[in-house]
Amino acid sequence: MVRVKLEHMTWPSLPLEEWKDTCATLHMWTQVVGKVRLAQTPLVNHWWNVPLYVSARGLTTTAMPYGEKFFEMEFDFIEHELVTKSSDGEMAFIPLQPMSVATFYAKTMEMLRELGLEVHIWKMPVEIQDPIPFDQDEQHKSYDPEYARRFWDVLRASEKVMQEFRSRFIGKCSPVHFFWGSFDLAVTRFSGRPAPPRADADSITREAYSHEVISHGWWPGQGPLGKPAFYSYTAPAPEGLSSAPIRPDKAFWSNDMSEFLMYYDDVRTAPNPDDALMEFMQSTYEAGADLANWDRASLER
């Protein structure tokens, strides 16, 4: 079989304003699929069992157990399908096209049932304002395949650099994974020391920040920021972090978000975007680790 080779933009333009409706809809769709993963997998520390992962075609759950078999769900941003494959050889798909979250939810649950997979999920979205239950959400219904593909292109380009950054650390470190709640690609390093309990923390936050962390990631910029950006935060934040020197020159501390930021457009238009992103992650890690007195000699290659 001969297939047409696709041309991808390594660091494409992705202004939030141009795809905000698709972004909001896709956010909810990934929550539906992500909650299937949550329902089918045992809790791993810091909720590492719930994210999706960048794949060769989009975003995947990876294989999940169901009785004696396994199944996997993948957003395919080449063919624009949600594909579900089972270890018994069965496969089904849903075309990704403009449809409401309620319709997507119904189609997804029907697809799973047709494959003999009876999965029950909590239908309320998380980590957003004014959530609407999946089966009642007729508000979010946009899908632009061009911008969905660009979104995946950004994830692929970012993940490549994040994987290299992760490889330099020999302490406890998360995978590079995509959190469907906050809709961001992230990698998190740990000092190995417990963190002080957070006041009024809910069960999700308490589990996520039980230990000292320095986290890096990318997200499309929903909310007050309004534009895609890379971020870095240290938790708990040590004294003096906001004034620590970081690189490149266009990276900065955001008082509003209490973390370091570098706008995506400043990375993608840099002479070498990979180097610019690596410099941002390395310098912000060093700032947090040094001020928080991490044992860097034993944690790094």
Would you write out the chain's pLDDT as a tens digit for each of its 301 residues?
445 455 667 899 999 999 999 999 999 999 999 999 999 999 999 999 999 999 999 999 999 999 999 999 999 999 999 999 999 999 999 999 999 999 999 999 999 999 999 999 999 999 999 999 999 999 999 999 999 999 999 999 999 999 999 999 999 999 999 999 999 999 999 999 999 988 777 877 888 889 999 999 999 999 899 999 999 999 999 999 999 999 999 999 999 999 999 999 999 999 999 999 999 999 999 999 999 999 999 999 9
Task: Write the CA distances from 71 to 65, 87, 117, 118, 169, integer angstroms.
Answer: 7, 6, 9, 12, 32
Q: Which of 255, 164, 268 is nearest to 216 (CA)?
A: 164
Task: Write the CA distances from 116 to 15, 40, 206, integer angstroms.
Answer: 41, 14, 36
Amino acid at 157: A
What are the extents of the domains in the chain?
16-136, 156-299
Amino acid at 43: L
Predicted TM-score (pTM) of this structure: 0.95
